[in-house]
Amino acid sequence: MSPETYWKRRVFVLLGLLVIVALITYACTRSSSSDIEQASGEGADPAPEASPSAGPSSSAPSVPPSPSPGDGPSPSGDAGEDGAAQEGDAAGDGDGASDGGSGAAGAEVPAPERDSDPCRPQDIVVTVDTDRDDYAWDAEPELELSIVNTGEQTCTVDTGPAGMEVRVTSGDDRIFSTADCVEGDASDDVRVRRGVAHTATFTWDRKRSWTDCRDAEVDADRPGTYVATLHSDYDGGAEPAVFRLN
């Protein structure tokens, strides 16, 4: 083999090796570029997917724009009026409380009694009684009248000795009367409320009395049975009280 042929073969082999190296290098470079592009593509995908999550602002409540100074209420005007109104209300409440207090205090003071109309006879029930049924020779009977108003309204009853005359008798003998020889205006008007009994009492000194007011005192000290009877506009149905003197 000639030297020329030898070197030509070497050159061809070397060129073949260079071509193979170049192909390998190109293939490696291409593969690296594809991997880089794929990696960069996969890394870029989350960005668009993140855009919906970046939209919480759409579901979150929208914040209204701040009002301009011209649209909002005047801090000095309305606030002042509201403050004045609140102070006025507070002052009014205070006055009301003070009025209520004075009213409550006034309610504790009894109202002055005013004149009432006379009671109707059908509305008044009177009971005649004595403090005992039997009296010793030196005991003075105490006669008692219990007056009850059955009407709806408070009214007045004259419980004076003439308005509520009580006579003491023994058989047919008229012994004593509270209306005998009464001087001046002896009326005693008493206001009687519904259902509240009023009691009037007086003590008989066991002496006789006369309608002509004769100046003589005679003791009614005879032992016996005596009867106290009511004579009045309100005597309807009043039972007499029976007692004994010893």
Give residue limits of the domains in the chain. Answer: 1-39, 121-245
Please say if the pLDDT value at position 187 is more than 90. Answer: no
Share of the chain above pLDDT 70, in %: 63
- Which range among 100-109, 141-150, 219-228 shows the weakest confidence by mean pLDDT? 100-109
DSSP readout, 70-97?
TTSPPTTTHHHHHHHHHHHHHHHHHHHH
- In this predicted model, what pLDDT tens digit does every residue of 209-238 receive, in sequence order? 988 887 666 676 689 999 999 999 988 778
**Neighbouring C-beta atoms of residue 226, cutoff 10 Å:** 24
Q: What kind of fold does domain 121-245 have according to CATH?
A: Immunoglobulin-like (2.60.40)
pTM passes above 0.85: no
Distance, in Å, from the CA atom of 141 to the CA atom of 135, rounded to the nearest integer, reads 7
Tell me, what's the pLDDT at 69?
44
Considering the chain, what is the average pLDDT of its residues?
Answer: 74
> Which residue has tokens 């570029």?
33
- In this predicted model, what pLDDT tens digit does every residue of 32-53 receive, in sequence order? 555 555 555 554 444 444 444 4
